Amino acid sequence: METIWQDVFYAARGMRRSPLFAVTAIFTLALGIGGATAMFSIIRAVLLKPLEYRDPGQLVIVSGGATPVRFEEMKPAVRSLTQLGAYTFQQDLTLTSRAQPEVVHAVQISGDFLRILGVPPLLGRSFSSAEDTPGAPPVAMLSAELWKRAFDSDPQIAGKTANISATSYSIVGVLPPRFQFPSAGIDVWIPRPAEWSMMAPQSRPLSPFLTLFGRMRPGVTVQQGNAEMALIHRQYAAAHPAMLDAKPKKPEELVTLEDNLVGSIRSILWILFGAVSLVLLIACANVASLLLARATGRSREIAVRAALGAGRGRLIRQLLAESILLSSAGGIAGILLGAWSLRIIPLLPAFNLPRAGSVHIDWAVLAFAAALSIGTGVLFGLAPSISGSRTDLIRVLRGSGEAASQRAPERVRWLDGRRLLVIGQIALSVILLIGAGLLMESVAHLRQIDLGFNPEKLFTASVSLPLSRYDTNQKKVRFYQELVQRLNALPAVRSATTAMFIPMTGFVGSPVQDAGKPPLPLNQRPIVMLLDVMPDYFKTLSVPMRRGRDFSVHDKDGAPRVAIIDEPLAHRLWPSYPAGVDPVGQRVLIGSKTDPVEIVGVAAHAHQNVENSIWSETIYIPFTQTPMATAKLAIRTGGDPLLLTRMVREQVRAMDRDQPISDVHTMDDLVEEEVGQRRLLVGLLGSFAGIALLLALVGIYGVISYSVTQRVRELGIRWALGARQFDILRLVMGQGLALTLAGVAAGIAGALLLTRVMTDVLFGVTATDPATFAGTGALFSVVALAASYIPARRATRIDPMTALRG
């Protein structure tokens, strides 16, 4: 211990004598260790920590949607699960138990969901079996966050009532903090999912709107469960040949709850962690190169210590102590940098991580950072320590270290450690730059997609009417028609409309068939997107009408049913379109209804999301004939759309003082969210690539500068023998070019292997895109030559007499 403390004390004195070297090394390591610490914190919270449920590995989600009929038949049939539950899509409800009405996110879920998950409530109790049966009194459970926000953490909340969507719900319990099932942001849980209020009662039995989940029996594997699911699927399809969820397709599969929760983000996080790891390796190589240069300069000092009796092991230990002290200081700075990054990253646009509330630096993360700091100290310090301790005492003590090193053969000097480290830095930097380039191309391709509508200056919001008060179609239609009239009267509004969904906010599907052909079973008809829209929908979104007319006030409840289709659906139903049969005037069957609907118009195709959905065709029906309680507002303005927020809210409150609006966005923001995750990935990966490029260029500059310093006498002789300035530039820059080309070649080879893991996050470009690879290599070579030019230019200014005299 005494010698260890001596080594540490001596290393600290050495760092104090070379503050510029110490600060440079610590800052370089802090970048790598800080990034790795921040990413490990995120990966540990999102991917590595077990879910906060009892035996979370046994919890599964059943892929694909299920009808209520399917759910009831599967509950007794599935033997691989001890319990099976269901939940619906999220819906917006209005909480009016406060002075100001508030929109809350709700989900209808099986009453025994807490028993399946193995989670006790924070307060009160879970739902009883009687409360999960049709006709039971309305009951609800609250999130801990809503309980604190809206009810002031009332410890006696259980048994009290809350006015939710004009219905008095009895609050039976409060869920634990950060409870996020089935998704993040849920405020209210309500039983009886088969009675989903967002769907008309007559449509529920045939609609697969339920998502099933359950708990595996102990000892049963997912593979065994999937074999049983395939058998049950075949039996169900035989018993219900016309049901939508019995359509011949890939059978439902059991997916672990963890995979369902983080599956979409797992590859992105590991890509980022890999990128940070490459930056850390580049930082280690950079510091190792600095230590090698420093060891060469200290060769006389080390030789003296060896001559005084210090063994080689003692010298290696002393040099390693310096590198580990540097890495420890870099680790401390890195932890502070990582903690700062974890506060900044969630503020970035499009940051949407599952379990984000669990991301923080704890003892496990600190242990990781400490181990990483020591490990990097050994990694970048071992080679310089071994090299520095290998000293020819007689030669070094007779002359200078630099002179001794100049006697090394040119071939050996070309293959020395510093040059190999720089080649490695270049290769890793090229890999990161190629990855960032591929993502940038993906984002560029996404931005070039013709959405089919104009997203500029579009205000969007959601309105969710309480069904207990707006319990008829006439009341719903009257509210939304009057709201649109009020909005159109505002000076800043050019056009306004409402719809069940607008682009980037969701969609539903329905089977459709040409009514002029023999009717097929529902599950054999093509499924297309079904959108309920008000008049002026196409005008407000700037969707061109190709044929026919828009909906009008005459297309109301009780009038002949009409529809508008888009051009892809026209091609699907009548392949000769636009020649041959004119779709306008033709009739189609929609859903399970047997009365045909007349087509009154054909519109251009408009994307419901940027990358489009599994259904590429769309049919529009009048919102006034099939009104929903929840609708989206779309308002075309002449200026900043968000300036309308207060006026829209006032118009809604003037009609119903208990009615709020929610989800206020511009359409540009909604489109950006679709691209945002990739843009965030581009930003982060691009930042890592930029840091890596900077470190690699510093490495190239350092090696060439060091080479010029070592070869001063040689260059002076060349000047004396008549070398021209161009010859010296070519000689020195040629070394930089050779290093760069070797590193670029190695980087391209590595990228060909590593970029394949990015396939899932790329769009419109392959993981081995030749243009990206070639462009990155060429760009890096040009920049590296610029870094080599500065020391090369300095070499042309060497005075031959001074160099020969030295």
pLDDT for position 478: 93
**Distances 736 to 227, 732, 742, 780 between C-alpha atoms, Å:** 60, 7, 10, 12
Q: Which of 723, 658, 730, 644 is nearest to 166 (CA)?
A: 658
Whether 388 shows a pLDDT value over 60: the answer reads no
Distance CA 71, CA 208 (A): 10
What is the bridge-based pairing of β-strands 458-464 and 662-666? antiparallel
Q: Among positive and negative, which fits the CA dihedral 708, 709, 714, 715?
A: positive
Q: Among positive and negative, which fits the CA dihedral 463, 468, 471, 475?
A: negative
CA dihedral 244, 248, 254, 258 (to 10 degrees): -70
pLDDT for position 602: 95
Q: What is the mean pLDDT of residues 779-790?
A: 83
Task: Please report the DSSP string for 63-87 in residue order.
Answer: EEEE-HHHHHHHHHH-SSEEEEEEE
Q: Which of 140, 112, 248, 298 is nearest to 522 (CA)?
A: 248
> In which region does residue 663 sit, left (phi positive, over 0), alpha (psi from -120 to 50) or beta (all else)?
left
Residues 6+ apart with CB under 8 A from 508: 500, 501, 529, 530
pLDDT for position 542: 94
Distance CA 719, CA 75 (A): 90
Q: Which of 57-71, 227-241, 395-409, 561-575 has the lowest mean pLDDT?
A: 395-409
Of residues 460 and 69, more confidently modeled: 460
pLDDT for position 406: 43
> pLDDT-based confidence at 88, cuts 50/70/90?
very high
What value, to the nearest 5°, has the Cα angle with vertex 626 and ends 625 and 627? Answer: 105
Q: Is 213 helix (H, G, I), strand (E, B) or coil?
A: strand
Distance CA 620, CA 598 (A): 11
How high does pLDDT run on average in the chain? 83
pLDDT for position 403: 42
Q: Which of 36-45, 151-160, 261-270, 499-508 has the lowest mean pLDDT?
A: 261-270
Q: What is the mean pLDDT of residues 755-776?
A: 86
pLDDT for position 612: 62
The DSSP H or E segment spanning 106 is strand 102-108
Q: Which of 110-124, 401-415, 446-460, 497-511 has the lowest mean pLDDT?
A: 401-415
Whether 725 shows a pLDDT value over 60: the answer reads yes
Whether 457 shows a pLDDT value over 90: the answer reads yes
Q: Which of 425, 390, 395, 372 is nearest to 292 (CA)?
A: 390
Highest mean pLDDT among 224-238, 247-261, 284-298, 586-600: 586-600
CA dihedral 767, 772, 773, 775 (to 10 degrees): 180
Highest mean pLDDT among 78-92, 95-109, 679-693: 78-92
Assigned token pair, 421: 């480290």
What value, to the nearest 5°, has the Cα angle with vertex 572 and ends 568 and 574? Answer: 110
Q: How large a percentage of the chain has pLDDT more than 70?
A: 85
Whether 350 shows a pLDDT value over 70: the answer reads no
**Distances 694 to 384, 457, 653 between C-alpha atoms, Å:** 22, 40, 56
pLDDT for position 173: 94
What is the bridge-based pairing of β-strands 527-533 and 618-622? parallel
Whether 246 shows a pLDDT value over 70: the answer reads no
Q: What is the mean pLDDT of residues 710-734?
A: 74
Task: Please report the DSSP string for 346-388 in residue order.
Answer: GGSTT---TTGGG----HHHHHHHHHHHHHHHHHHHHHHHHHH
Q: Which of 319-328, 598-607, 708-717, 741-750 has the lowest mean pLDDT?
A: 708-717
> In which region does residue 452 sit, left (phi positive, over 0), alpha (psi from -120 to 50) or beta (all else)?
left
Distance CA 446, CA 541 (A): 20
Q: What is the mean pLDDT of residues 704-717?
A: 70
Q: Among positive and negative, which fits the CA dihedral 183, 188, 190, 194?
A: negative
Q: Which of 590, 586, 620 is nearest to 604 (CA)?
A: 620
Q: Give tens-digit pLDDT for 679-696.
A: 777 777 888 888 888 888
Compute φ and ψ for 325, nearest 5 degrees.
Answer: -65, -40
Q: Kindly report the pTM of this predicted structure.
A: 0.78
With 0-12 / 13-18 / 19 or more C-beta atoms within 10 angstroms meaning exposed / middle / buried, residue 449 is middle
With 0-12 / 13-18 / 19 or more C-beta atoms within 10 angstroms meaning exposed / middle / buried, residue 5 is exposed
Query: Is residue 88 within 8 Å of residue 209, measured between CB atoms?
Result: yes
With 0-12 / 13-18 / 19 or more C-beta atoms within 10 angstroms meaning exposed / middle / buried, residue 309 is exposed
Q: Which of 666, 565, 550 is nearest to 606 (CA)?
A: 565
CB contact burial 724-758 (16+ within 10 A = b; e otherwise): eeeebbebbbebbbebbbbbbebbbebbeebbeeb
Highest mean pLDDT among 91-100, 167-176, 356-365, 412-421: 167-176
Task: Please report the DSSP string for 624-640 in residue order.
Answer: TTS--SEEEEEEEESS-
What value, to the nearest 5°, has the Cα angle with vertex 165 and ends 161 and 171? Answer: 25
Query: Is residue 374 within 8 Å of residue 329, measured between CB atoms?
Result: no
Whether 297 shows a pLDDT value over 80: the answer reads no
> pLDDT-based confidence at 248, cuts 50/70/90?
low
Encoded amino acid at 328, one letter: S
Of residues 350 and 541, more confidently modeled: 541
Q: Which of 96-100, 320-324, 517-521, 534-538 has the lowest mean pLDDT?
A: 96-100
Q: How large a percentage of the chain has pLDDT more than 90?
A: 27
Distance CA 241, CA 139 (A): 36
Q: Which of 248-257, 289-298, 533-542, 595-604 has the lowest mean pLDDT?
A: 289-298
Q: What is the mean pLDDT of residues 550-560?
A: 88
What value, to the nearest 5°, has the Cα angle with vertex 27 and ends 22 and 32? Answer: 130
Q: Which of 379-393, 406-420, 650-664 has the lowest mean pLDDT?
A: 406-420
pLDDT for position 389: 53
Whether 414 shows a pLDDT value over 70: the answer reads no
User: In terms of residues, how long is the chain?
Assistant: 806
Whether 247 shows a pLDDT value over 70: the answer reads no
Whether 354 shows a pLDDT value over 80: the answer reads no
Task: Please report the DSSP string for 214-255 in residue order.
Answer: EEEPTT--HHHHHHHHHHHHHHHHHH-TT-GGGSSSSPP-EE
What is the bridge-based pairing of β-strands 527-533 and 508-514? antiparallel
Distance CA 436, CA 780 (A): 13
Q: Which of 508, 509, 497 is nearest to 461 (CA)?
A: 497
Distance CA 528, CA 619 (A): 7
Q: What is the mean pLDDT of residues 757-762?
A: 82
Distance CA 80, CA 95 (A): 40
The whole-angstrom distance between residue 71's C-alpha and the CA centroid of its chain comes to 32
Q: Is 595 helix (H, G, I), strand (E, B) or coil?
A: coil
CB contact burial 33-55 (16+ within 10 A = b; e otherwise): bbbbbbbbbbbbbbbeeebbbee
Distance CA 563, CA 558 (A): 14
pLDDT for position 487: 94
Q: What is the mean pLDDT of residues 450-454?
A: 89
Task: Please report the DSSP string for 478-493 in residue order.
Answer: HHHHHHHHHHHTSTTE
Q: Which of 693, 699, 705 is nearest to 777 (CA)?
A: 693
Encoded amino acid at 612, one letter: N
Q: Give tens-digit pLDDT for 477-525.
A: 999 999 999 999 999 999 999 999 999 888 888 889 999 898 888 778 8
Residue entry with tokens 């010296």 = 728
Q: What is the mean pLDDT of residues 128-145?
A: 91
Helices 417-447 and 770-795: angle between axes, nearest 10 degrees: 140
Please give the DSSP secondary-structure letter assigned to residue 198. T
Whether 631 shows a pLDDT value over 50: the answer reads yes
Q: Which of 756, 739, 744, 747 is nearest to 791 (CA)?
A: 739
Q: Give tens-digit pLDDT for 149-208.
A: 888 899 999 989 998 888 899 999 999 988 888 988 899 999 999 888 777 777 777 778
Q: What is the mean pLDDT of residues 98-112?
A: 85
Query: Is residue 758 within 8 Å of residue 694, measured between CB atoms?
Result: no
